[in-house]
Chain A
């Protein structure tokens, strides 16, 4: 069964350092999402891609976060510099399409980030 892959699964970094997460969506899925899930909360969307284009990054803290999906396949989310409040689970999800309805989003296992 196809799955969304994420790496690393766990990351510990010191504040002010740079950190990057990688996501490989299910093959053929045009839409890719990055979510942040703080412990005890539901996931919150950070950025949504349709192919290689950003369609929603309204909740992305652009002063320190960046995301790219250069070839419309895998994606990288970067934080620079990391802050203590960035400690959370970072989830990647993908779905077949985005517009004209709603489709199931398939989530990866997440990357748990701890900033010390």
Chain B
């Protein structure tokens, strides 16, 4: 069993819809939770970063962490075609060694 599980299925949504992505993890030592966005033929870029359980909002993006269930989520409101990318969850326990999920390819259709 991998440390981080992310269902890699592609996701197509119409413009303006809410995108919901999630990951589960098995290592209870993980303390830091991140979402990276990766455009085609580019390196990942950090989108959201949370430390504790709860919600964190940044514009149209909301990250949720539930440590008791070992479950994290990313929500994108009012999705735009420019949000079309692969979204990777990542986490670590403070040594900066990131464990990534497989990524979800999101396509927002105009």
Hey, which bits of chain A sit against chain B, CB under 8 A? 4, 31, 40-45, 48, 56, 91, 93, 95, 98-110, 112
Q: A42-B6, A93-B43 are in contact. Are A98 and B95 (CB under 8 A)?
A: yes
B25 on the interface (CB 8 Å rule)? no
Binds A, one of B13-21, B58-66, B73-81, B97-105: B97-105
Which bracket fits the contact residues of B?
Answer: 20 to 34
Those of B22-59 within 8 Å (CB) of chain A: 31-32, 41-46, 49
Q: Report B4 CB to chain A, min CB distance, Å.
A: 8
CA distance A92 to B45 in the complex (A): 12
User: Interface of chain B, helix or strand or loop or mixed?
Assistant: loop
Q: Which residues of B contact A44 (CB under 8 A)?
A: 100
Q: Which residues of B contact A43 (CB under 8 A)?
A: 44, 88, 98, 100
Q: A42-B88, A42-B100 are in contact. Are A102 and B43 (CB under 8 A)?
A: no
Q: Report B98 CB to chain A, min CB distance, Å.
A: 7
Residue of A at shortest CB range from B93?
A: A102
A102 close to B32 (CB less than 8 A): yes
**Contacts A/B (CB < 8 Å), 17 sampled:** A31-B96, A40-B8, A43-B98, A93-B43, A95-B96, A99-B95, A102-B94, A102-B96, A105-B46, A105-B96, A105-B98, A107-B44, A107-B45, A108-B43, A109-B43, A110-B42, A112-B41
